[in-house]
Amino acid sequence: MKIALAQQNYHIGNFAFNRNKIIEGINWAKQQNADLVVFSELCICGYPPRDFLEFDNFINGCYESIDIIKQHADNIGVLIGSPARNNQKEGKNLFNAAFLLYEKEIKAEIHKTLLPNYDVFDEYRYFEPAFEWNIMKFKGKKLAVTICEDIWNMGDNPLYRITPMEKLIVHEPDVLINLSASPFNLGQDVVRNSIIKAHALKYQKPMLYCNAVGAQTEIIFDGGSLVYNSNGNKISELSYFEEAYQVFDLDELSQKEITTEKNKSKYYYSSKEIEIGESRLAYLANEKNIAEIRKAIVLGIRDYFSKMNFTKATLGASGGIDSAVTQALAVEALGKENVMAVLMPSEFSSSHSVTDAEQLCTNLDCNFENISIKNIFGSFLTTLNPLFEKLPFGLAEENLQARTRGNLLMSIANKFGFILLNTSNKSELATGYGTLYGDMAGGLSVLGDLYKTQIYALAKMINNETEIIPNNILLKDPSAELRPNQKDSDSLPEYSILDTILFEYIELRKAPSEIIAKGFEKELVNKIINLVNTSEYKRNQFCPILRVSNKSFGTGRRMPIVGQYFS
């Protein structure tokens, strides 16, 4: 039997687009003489559909697409993912399901058991876990079909009480197949490989794993579909961050070899178990991870614009590292003709900030406008003077400049149909080092899940072949330039220290006492964590952030705004 994997990029709720893509995949598999073609989790509607699932019309649309697709499943088997109605009175109204289509009929239907309800996942909000566990029979073979999380209940500390594969393996299947929508984050490729390899070794069965690719708002799916043979050897790893197709011969995958200690490798249950070396910052900013982040962000920008029918982007170009990296990635994703930078110098802007920003635009061959905010800012101060009287220059005046820039950018975006790209980084968002309705404005956050140290590493990678980002931007001290001689280090510790403490608290969920025990100054740790906690109200109003870590701000990290824990 020949089995094809179709790793595709879907559009949530766009039934016609998704089913046409699936039909294209079926036709491709037919041309390769495949007997069965496998698609990814919830490919019919796109993942994650969230509250669309609460509309009966949406579920009708899923079934209508299945009816159309099954007409193409005449002489080939088709495995697709879709919501399915629960006909029993007990439980929620829907299952997360996989359908086997063949001979223009639905031949089998299985349901997902393990419904993740952590981080960006909220499947138990919508779906009922499987009531039973059955294999699918197809052309004389027994298929053990699972859906994404169903294969992740492994290791010494399993998250769930039921392991679906243990229920299926008693039926002595010939092959293990998993339909998945597993998002990208650093190290996830290592985890996935370990999980698939562990299944192949444990059950001595070949395993085919089909993952989704493409960005859905903030969540980015990286593909990297996998095939391991019954001896636990990797046969194929499909492309990352792009669509891909491949056919495999089940008989070849099932050939047994003598198992040796060499291929009995450790598997990992979660990304928490990945060994990241002595320095966490070195891991976050190493070349492999930064290269993956770059591809992920470019895909995230491109899909956000294409799936929302947007074409052009604008951003505030300050001459700093964050806006420079954002602009370079936007040009890479959308094309230079679709990105316009806006320089908005004030009386506190250094001359090199303006020239650096202009040089970047020249290097990228990108359109830009230079609009001074000096007179607008002065007009605001004159208007507010009777109220402010002789109070000293302070935070209000600094934020007023940022909000002036935010107003200008949003006006330009409204006038010309641009989408404003936000340029804030994770270090700033964590500590509240940003102005609501000012530099925190935007339709999409490009760098909001990247620490400052990662952004410097990304800038250096962008400059690998030629100097795109002016070297002066990488070398000068970071500054918001909202008052004379201002530097980020006036308000925050050095980023190498700050980012390490933030990573321990945000990603690893370490308490202040645990971080202090690692050698960090008590007063500094308490100050930083207090900044993180008291800035929650700002992040709650922030735009979607492209997710590249396993604990990003937004739906992946849900903290109360009003609370006193660790504050």
Secondary structure (DSSP) of 467-530: --S-HHHHHSPP---SSTT--GGGTS--HHHHHHHHHHHHTS---HHHHHTTT--HHHHHHHHH
Q: Cα–Cα distance between 508 and 423 in angstroms, integer?
A: 25
- The answer to whether the CB of 20 falls within 8 A of the CB of 72 is no
Has 361 been annotated as catalytic? Answer: no
Indicate if 543 belongs to the active site.
no
Q: Round to whole Å and give the CA distance between 107 and 95.
A: 17
Q: How far apart are alpha carbons 185 and 10 in whole angstroms?
A: 19
Residue 336 among the catalytic residues: no
d(CA 249, CA 96) in angstroms, rounded, equals 28
**Structure token digits, residue 118:** 């952590």
- Residues counted in the chain: 567
Q: What gap in Å lies between CA 130 and CA 90, rounded to an integer?
A: 12
Alpha helices, H only, 183-285? 188-203, 250-254, 280-284
Q: Are 110 and 97 in contact (CB under 8 A)?
A: yes
Question: What b/e readout covers 360-378, taking b as 16+ CB neighbours within 10 angstroms?
Answer: bbebbebebeeeebeebbe
Of 21, 70, 112, 510, which one is the catalytic site residue? Answer: 112
Of the listed 45, 148, 210, 366, which one is catalytic?
Answer: 148
Contact 433, 456 (CB under 8 A): no
Please pick, among 41, 149, 218, 481, the residue that the annotation labels catalytic: 41
Helix (H) or strand (E) run with residue 376 in it: helix 374-388
Query: Using an 8 Å Cβ cutoff, are 406 and 465 in contact?
Result: no
Active site residues: 41, 112, 148
